[in-house]
Amino acid sequence: MFLFWNRQTDSAREAALRIRERLDQRFIEKLDSLHNGAWNTGMVSREDLQEAYRKSREIEQNHRVNMWYTFGIMAFVMLLTPIFYNLLTFLIGVKCFLPQNVVVWEATRPISDCGFCRGVEGPLILKNMTREEFAPYAYSSLPIVIKNAVNHWPATKLLNLKLLKEIYERNPGSLDEDCHFLNFHSDLKSISDVFNMSPERANLSIGNTWYVGWSNCHPGVLEELRKLYGRPHFLPVDAEMSNTDYIFLGYEQGAYMHLDYIHRLMWQAQIKGNKSWILAPTPECDHLCQSFSFNVEPGDAVLVDTRVWYHGTSIPKGQFTLTIQSEYG
């Protein structure tokens, strides 16, 4: 049975080859006829036909080269795409390579419609006010400074680097928490580095200037700190508050220009020292909006939609600053 099937297959193959040979022969005959007909008109020379044949062969060869070139590119892309994806995923996760993923965030942020900055030439300066008085401005992207808004907080008199260190030391494991730490331009890489500075470096008697910030993500630390300051009294009753706050402190350097990739609006209370802010619109709004700067003093509260305003800060030379920051929305 198997032998019979093989013979049948061979016969079919031979028949197919004979048909192909007849078709090839007919094609060649038709091509010769076309060739002779064109030549007999006297309008086409032998050289023309030879040149046409040569060019047709070049086109065929180029087509084959392009086909293999295209195939090679496709294979290259298919091979490297998963490798590149895995490499990029790894690099994004490495804090030292892309700190806080700011490169990725900036590349993927929504384009601004410029409504937040059109016609704004500086912050709205308000006196200390009640919740009802602040209500019209509560959820605005307009930069606001409320003068003397937090003067009554115990933190304005008590909170300093020494007390912060004592609070953390009273809460075991607080320095082991993976809290968000911002070293900005300084050489300090963790909260422990800040607390382990020599007294001379800490008060800027010797050594380099420093400015850092971090989130209070340890529950015990946060509970103690919030005894020294409270929810700003002017915020709406229905405003949701963050379960972590930030502390920023140090000398001179301040924060570089950046956007905050956060979910809600921001308030910042100036506890100690003065600070200068500079705000700038997003690049796509430069033709409609302008940059400006302003100063805040101890006891002032600052509200800036740092999701849309590029912002940076600086501290007067030789002066220590300490601020509390959180989100609401």
241-276 pLDDT tens trace: 888 999 999 998 788 899 998 889 999 999 999 999
Same domain, 151 and 256: yes
| CATH code (residue 161) | 2.60.120.650
In a domain, 281, yes or no: yes
- 279 belongs to a structural domain: yes
Beta partners for residue 310, in sequence order: 280
Q: What span, in angstroms and rounded, lies between the C-alpha atoms of 124 and 301?
A: 12
> Are 71 and 185 found together in one domain?
no
Checking if the pLDDT of 131 tops 60, the result is: yes
pLDDT of 37 higher than 90: no
Indicate whether 84 and 207 sit together in one domain.
Answer: no
Quote the Cα angle for 327-95-190, to 5°. Answer: 70
pLDDT at 92 over 80: no
Residues 124 and 267 in one domain: yes
Tokens of 236: 């709406």
Same domain as 157, residue 70: no
- The answer to whether residues 145 and 240 belong to one domain is yes
Domain annotation covers residue 5: no
How much is the pLDDT for 145? 98
The DSSP bridge partners found for residue 250 are 211, 321
Asked if 152 and 73 sit in the same domain, the reply is no
Burial 255-293 (b: 16+ CB within 10 A, else e): beebbbeeebbbbbbbbbbebebbbbbbeebeeebeeee
| Longest Cα–Cα distance in the chain | 110
Name, in order, each residue with C-beta under 8 angstroms of 227's C-beta and a sequence gap of 6 or more.
154
Residues 271 and 311 occupy one common structural domain: yes
Q: What's the domain count of the chain? A: 2
The secondary structure of the chain in percent helix, strand, coil, rounded to multiples of 5, reads 40, 20, 40
Same domain, 158 and 74: no
Rounded mean pLDDT of the chain? Answer: 81
Q: Angle 46-93/2-40 helices, nearest 10 degrees?
A: 120
207 and 82 fall within a common domain: no
Whether residue 155 lies inside any domain: the answer is yes
pTM: 0.68
Residue 192: inside a domain: yes
Query: Distance (Å, rounded) from C-alpha 51 to C-alpha 136?
Result: 83
- pLDDT at position 138 is 95
Report if residue 258 sits inside a domain. Answer: yes
User: Which of 2-6, 24-28, 238-242 is the most confident on average?
Assistant: 238-242
Range of the domain at 218: 112-328
Answer yes or no: do 88 and 119 share one domain.
no
Chain segment 179-203, per-residue pLDDT in tens: 899 999 899 999 999 999 999 999 8
Cα(279)–Cα(310) distance, integer angstroms: 6
Rounded to whole angstroms, the Cα distance separating 208 from 156 reads 26
Q: What is the pLDDT of residues 47-62, one digit of tens each?
A: 655 555 555 555 545 5
Give strand pairing partners of 146. 126, 301
CA atoms of 301 and 314, how far apart (whole Å)? 16
* Residue bearing the bigger pLDDT, 33 or 316: 316
Residue type, 285: C
